[in-house]
Chains A and B, each alone.
Chain A
Amino acid sequence: MNTTNGARGTAGDSRAESAGSSMPAVSSVIQCSGVNFFFGQGELRKQILFEVEFAIEPGEIVLLTGPSGSGKTTLLTLIAGLRSMQEGQMHVLGYRLHNPGPRDLLEVRRRIGFIFQAHNLLPYLTALQNVQVMFELQPNVSAEEGRQRAARMLEQVGLGDRLHYQVARLSGGQRQRVAIARALVGGPQLVLADEPTAALDGASGREVVNLLQALAREQGRPILMVTHDTRVLDIADRILELQDGRLASHSTGALSKPAAV
């Protein structure tokens, strides 16, 4: 893939423009304001998000909670550049996602580490290859360096002895740890996690979240995690709560600790 240089050019343009328009967005990891989002057309048109406004600063770990159907996943796909914005403004990692340039969405995605509800590993690859695959997006990293960095990352998530296991031979918790390694190995500027504990039992879920928190803290990476697993709320610096498509008032407040602590 030799398109990186050209794409950087486009990205650079759009970033420069946001900076020039005196938006405070540039320093924030995520800056969104007045975001409305609708599904469907005409009479079936249904509003999913209402005037959503928040920011995430570098190094923050933020949880996004709320009941099913509250719009969490939709918001996440907008932030990730997987869906087109309709109304409002959204800046992620300095890229403008409303009226994006032709390759901006792709460039944003490449700078995000994704962790999915169901690991979404490639079943035909080993643990190591699944992590290595991220370096296909970074042509400047040699194959050998990619292999070494992937192996080191897997050691960090405690799978140093499982490098060459096929996905099918790993347990649920192990798979999710491979997914974490895959999300972090490329040095993402933001980690987006969608219910990473949903498919895991309590102990494994806890382990995975702790690992994610520790690694993110160590590398200073901001995390936005969608979850309604109340057992893991304590890892957050901040909790945003969506209800019927609106951010609940208390979620803009500073640190909210779970009641149990």
Chain B
Amino acid sequence: MSQRIGLSWLQLRHEKMKLFAAVSGVMVSVVLMWMQLGLMKALFASAVVLHGSLAGEVVVIHSQYEHLLHSKVFSSRLLYRLKGSPDVVSVSGIYLAPIEWKNPWNGEMRSMQCYGIETESPGLSIPGLADQLASLRQRDVFLYDRLARPRFGNVVGELERGADIKPELNRRRMKLAGLVDLGASFGIDGNLLVSHANFLRLFSERDPGHIDLGVVRLKPGVSVEAAQRQFQQQLGEQVLVLTRDQFADIELKYWKSATPIGVIFSAGTFVGFFIGFIVVYQILYTDVTNHLPQYATMKAMGFSNAYLRGLILAQSLQLGLLGFVPGTLIAAMLYAALRNVTQLPLTLDPARGIFLAAVTVVMCALSGLFAIRRLSSADPAEVF
């Protein structure tokens, strides 16, 4: 469609208020879609932050493990058998359990997720953790999750002020030794890291010989799948030997089936799409209706239906573009604000940006195509 004088745009901008309304409609729709998809992605991503931080290619869990809040312990001797394999660099066992945090400022009790790690071989690669392993070896200390929800008190702020923070954990006085970044998720409002020794002090009923997660680091160049198969055979059916991605999938699958999050946010995204579609359609439709005499004139002068359809379609796409850019900027601001409040890993993912741009184009094109049907009412015989 050649529109050498930009007819579609000249017509669109002629009525500023209408243009503003249409662009706002697209904008609202784009913001909604960004928010819905972003929150869904972030919620799921938050559930597997720990999985992504495991310092190993292979993970060992009990065969009846369900998810991080519903783990099952297995004998650490099984895991340490793998130390003998020529493919293995190191193995590390991780304890995990929910722990009672008593807010040192108001005495409120809250549950956090506590990980007991080996300070020689922590099995986790979290930025800044390596430097703090030495202090973690002290008696009755812990590392606190900087991204924990604010309900545990202003821990980070107080620490930065230089305060000594000694809350009660499982009724045991512990000292905060530093911060790590992990993040909140479904059912987990914040995380704590302690050494194996301190974990066993906090959970005196736990059997030291049984761990929740086993992390295996392979030598470079070793096939993960082959090692996984071999270890599974070696360890028997009491445990599951998984790649890191498979381990994360268990978590995602659980939360996807246990919560209606996927459905809710997909529906929300569709609502956003629908709002945009309706607004653009309404505006283009009334616009075509108001301009019927003009379109009839153009038809009489020899403009083909294809040209006029192209004109309307071009307008719908221009509206889409005009709405998408500011909509994305607003979404970016909302993401930043929500990140601060929810500690969810909300990011403007470029791939999702391309996807949403395509969705916006489809949305506008659909509205345009529906509005185009109105064109057939422009009868060139009525121009005289």
Q: Which residues of A contact B (CB under 8 A)?
A: 1, 3, 73, 76-77, 80, 82-83, 106-107, 109-112, 114, 116-117, 120, 122-125, 129, 132-137, 139, 143, 146, 194, 226
**Closest CB in chain B relative to A10 CB, distance in Å:** 13
Interface: B354 (CB within 8 A)? no
Residue from A116, A122, A139 within 8 A of B383 (CB atoms): A116
Query: Which of chain A's residues have a CB closer than 8 A to the CB of B13?
Result: 124
Contacts A3-B306, A120-B293, A124-B10 hold; do A136 and B3 have CB atoms under 8 A apart?
A: yes
Chain B contact residues, majority secondary structure: helix
Q: Once bound together, how far apart are the Cα atoms of A80 and B2, in whole Å?
A: 25
Closest beta carbon of chain B to A248's beta carbon, Å: 21
The answer to whether A135 touches B4 (Cβ under 8 A) is yes
Task: Tell me which of B10, B294, B302, B380 contacts A129 (CB under 8 A).
Answer: B10
Chain B proximity of A257: nearest CB distance (Å): 27
The smallest C-beta distance from B31 to any residue of chain A, in angstroms, reads 29
A3-B384 in contact given A133-B5, A136-B2 (Cβ < 8 Å): no
A-B contact pairs, 7 of them (CB 8 A): A77-B381, A80-B300, A114-B297, A120-B297, A132-B5, A136-B4, A136-B307
Known: A109-B301, A122-B297, A133-B5. 19 other contacts (CB 8 A): A1-B2, A1-B304, A76-B384, A80-B384, A82-B384, A83-B381, A109-B300, A109-B302, A111-B302, A114-B383, A116-B297, A120-B294, A123-B294, A135-B4, A136-B5, A136-B7, A136-B303, A137-B301, A143-B5
Q: Which residue of B lies closest to A117 (CB)?
A: B384
* A120 and B383 form a contact (CB under 8 A): yes
How many contacting A-B pairs (Cβ < 8 A)? 77
Q: CA separation between A182 and B49, bound complex, in Å? A: 67
Chain B 1-35 per-residue mask, 1 if CB under 8 angstroms from chain A, else 0? 11111010011011000000000000000000000
Size range of the chain B interface in the assembly: 20 to 34
B256 vs chain A, min Cβ distance (A) = 49
Interface residues of B (CB under 8 A from A): 1-5, 7, 10-11, 13-14, 293-294, 297, 299-304, 306-307, 380-381, 383-384
CA A124 – CA B13 in complex, angstroms?
8
B4 and A1 contact, CB distance less than 8 A: no
Q: Which residues of B contact A124 (CB under 8 A)?
A: 10-11, 13-14
List residues of chain A with CB within 8 A of the CB of B10.
124-125, 129
CA distance A82 to B380 in the complex (A): 6
CA distance A194 to B2 in the complex (A): 30
How far, in whole Å, are A83 and B300 apart by their CA atoms in the complex? 10
Contacts of B306 in A (CB 8 A): 1, 3
Bound together, the chains give a CA A123 to CA B323 distance in angstroms of 25
A194: chain B residues within 8 A (beta carbon): 384
User: In the bound complex, how far is the Cα of B307 from the Cα of A139, in angstroms?
Assistant: 12
Question: Assuming the A-B contacts A124-B11, A129-B10, are A73 and B384 also in contact, with contact meaning beta carbons closer than 8 angstroms in the complex?
Answer: yes
The reply to whether A82 and B383 contact each other, CB–CB distance below 8 Å, is yes
Q: How far is the CB of A151 from chain B (nearest CB, A)?
A: 13
| B300: chain A residues within 8 A (beta carbon) | 80, 82, 109, 114
Residues of B within 8 Å of A80, CB to CB, are: 300, 384
Chain A residues lying within 8 Å of B381, measured Cβ to Cβ, are 77, 82-83
Closest residue to A183 on the B side, CB-wise?
Answer: B301
Q: Whole-angstrom distance from the CB of B200 to the nearest CB of chain A? A: 78
3 A-B pairs with the lowest CB-CB distances in the bound complex, closest first:
A124-B14, A110-B302, A109-B302
Return A66 CB to nearest CB of chain B, in Å: 14
